[in-house]
Amino acid sequence: MNKPELLAPAGNLEKLKIAINFGADAVYLGGNKLNLRALANNFTDEELREGIEFAHSRGKKVHVTVNVFPHNEDLLGLEEYLKQLDNLGADAILVSDPGIIMTAMEVVPDLDIHLSTQASCLNYKSALFWHNLGVKRVVMAREVGLKELEDIRKKLPQSCEIEAFVHGAMCMAYSGKCLLSNYLKGRDSNRGVCAQPCRYQCRLIEEKVPGQYNEVTEEIGGAYILNSKDLCMIEHIPELVDSGVNSFKIEGRMKSSYYVASVIRAYREAIDKYIEDPKNYVFDSKWKDYLLKPSHRPYTTGFYFDEDMRQYYDSSSYIRNYDIVGIVRNYNKELHIATIEQKNKVYNGDTVEVLTPKGNNKVVKLQDMKKENGESIESAPSAQMIFTIYCDENLEINDMLIKAKK
C-alpha cells in the first residue's frame, strides 16, 4: 500500500522542529526570496542551514517555496539564489512559474522541482506535460475532486508524484491566483503580500432604479460573502490513501506552533492507523478533537466531494478554543521539576492539557511556579520567559502545554 508523505508547513525554525517532532515526514518553507508568504517570518540563510540539518539528521525532507509569479525585476539574482538553496541541501523547490522552472533546470539540474498548486494543474495531460519538462512532483489544484485524483494517479507514470492539500485555509480565488488584494490594497498576492480582502465584511448593493439602491445583507452588519471555510479531510484518510496521492499537504506557514503540532499529530495518527490495518480501521473522534482546539474556521471537504457550501458568511474570525501557554524544555524525573518556556500568560494553579508527540494527552496542574532564580511567582506574564513547575506526571522535552480559553 502507498504510504503518503505527511508534509507540514514551517513558518519559522521553531515550527519546523515542532512539525518534525510531532510526526511530519517533510516540511515546506520560504527562504528570503520569491515565496508567496513574503510577510511571514521567513528563514534566514543560517536558519535554513540549521533547519535542513535538523530535518536530514532525522531522515526528513525540506522543500523550499520559490512559487511567486515573478516580474522581470524579481528574476534578478535568481540563479544565485537557486544555487544557494542547492548548496544548503534543500530536497526540492516548489515552483509555479515556467521561467523559474527553466532557470532551475539550467543551473541546479539535480534539485527536484515540485509544481505549485498555483499553476492550476487539473488533469493528467497537464501533469504529464510538466513531468516531461522535468517536474518530479505536481501539487494538484485544489479544485480537483477525489475521483479525479484517483484517475490522474492511474494515468500517470509512477515517476510523476502527485501532492494534494488535505487541511488548512482555502482561497476563494481560482487556485489562489487572486487580484483583489492588488486592486484594493496595492499588495500583490501573486508576489507574496496578500492583504486577504476576501476576509473583509461586505455589503452588496442591488440596483432597482437609477439613483436608488437596496442594500442586501445577511444581517444588519453585512456578510462575509468571499470568506472560505477551512479544508479538513481527517475523516477521509482511507479514501485519500487509496487514491494513490504521494503527499498529503497541510496549509499554514503563518499559523501558530500549536496549530502545527495539533494538525500534524492528528493526521500522523490517522494515516499510521490506516496503513497498519486497513481492514479494521476505525476513525477515532479524538483526531477531530485535536483539530477543533487550535484556531480554525468552520470546516469543509472543499472540492473533494462536490460539497455545496464552502463559504462562511457570518464571520471571518478564527474559532479559538485553546491557546498554547508553554513548551517543555526540560524535565527532571528525580525532582519532578519541569522547565517551561512561556508562550502565553499562565497562572500558578492553572490546569492545562499536555499535547505530546506520542501517546494520549495528559491533564496536569501547574504547581509551585518559580522563576529561573528560584523565586516563587503567581504567573508567567512575559513572552518566552523560562519558569519551572512541580509536576508528578513525567513530561518530555517539546511537550506542549495548552489551556482552554475562558
- The answer to whether residues 235 and 370 belong to one domain is no
In a domain, 280, yes or no: yes
In a domain, 199, yes or no: no
In a domain, 214, yes or no: no
- The answer to whether residues 152 and 63 belong to one domain is yes
Nearest to 174 by CA among 150, 201, 198, 148: 198
- The answer to whether residues 238 and 331 belong to one domain is no
Beta strands 112-115; 137-139: pairing state: parallel
In a domain, 220, yes or no: no
- The answer to whether residues 49 and 130 belong to one domain is yes
In a domain, 145, yes or no: yes
In a domain, 132, yes or no: yes
d(CA 321, CA 292): 7
39 secondary structure, DSSP code: T
In a domain, 330, yes or no: yes
In a domain, 83, yes or no: yes
d(CA 357, CA 3): 20
Kindly list the distances between the CA atom of residue 351 and the CA atoms of 325, 340, 402, 403, in Å, as whole numbers in the listed order.
11, 15, 9, 7
- Give me the CATH number covering residue 40: 3.20.20.70
Tens digit of each residue's pLDDT, the chain (406 residues): 789 999 999 999 999 999 999 999 999 998 877 765 555 567 889 999 999 999 999 999 999 999 888 889 889 999 999 999 999 999 999 999 999 999 999 999 999 999 999 899 999 999 999 999 999 999 999 999 999 999 999 999 999 999 999 999 887 776 666 667 776 677 776 656 777 777 777 776 666 666 666 665 555 556 777 778 889 999 999 999 999 999 999 998 888 999 999 999 999 999 999 999 999 999 999 999 999 999 888 889 999 997 777 777 677 677 888 999 999 999 999 999 999 999 999 999 999 999 999 888 999 999 999 999 999 999 999 989 999 999 999 999 999 999 998 7
- The answer to whether residues 240 and 292 belong to one domain is yes
- The answer to whether residues 154 and 76 belong to one domain is yes
d(CA 327, CA 304): 36
Q: Give the domain extent around 376.
A: 322-404
Output the DSSP codes for 178-237.
--HHHHHHS--GGGT----GGGS-B-EEEEEETTEEEEE-SSTT-B-TT-BPEEE-GGGH
- The answer to whether residues 246 and 336 belong to one domain is no
C-alpha cell at 42: 521567513
User: The whole model's pTM is what?
Assistant: 0.88
Output the DSSP codes for 316-373.
-SPB--EEEEEEEEEEETTTTEEEEEESS-EETT-EEEEE-SSS--EEEE-EEEEETT
Helices and strands, number each (H, E), in the chain: 10, 21
Number of folded domains in the chain? 2
Neighbours of 317 (CB within 10 A): 11
- Give me the CATH number covering residue 379: 2.40.30.10
Last residue of a domain, one of 266, 300, 334: 300
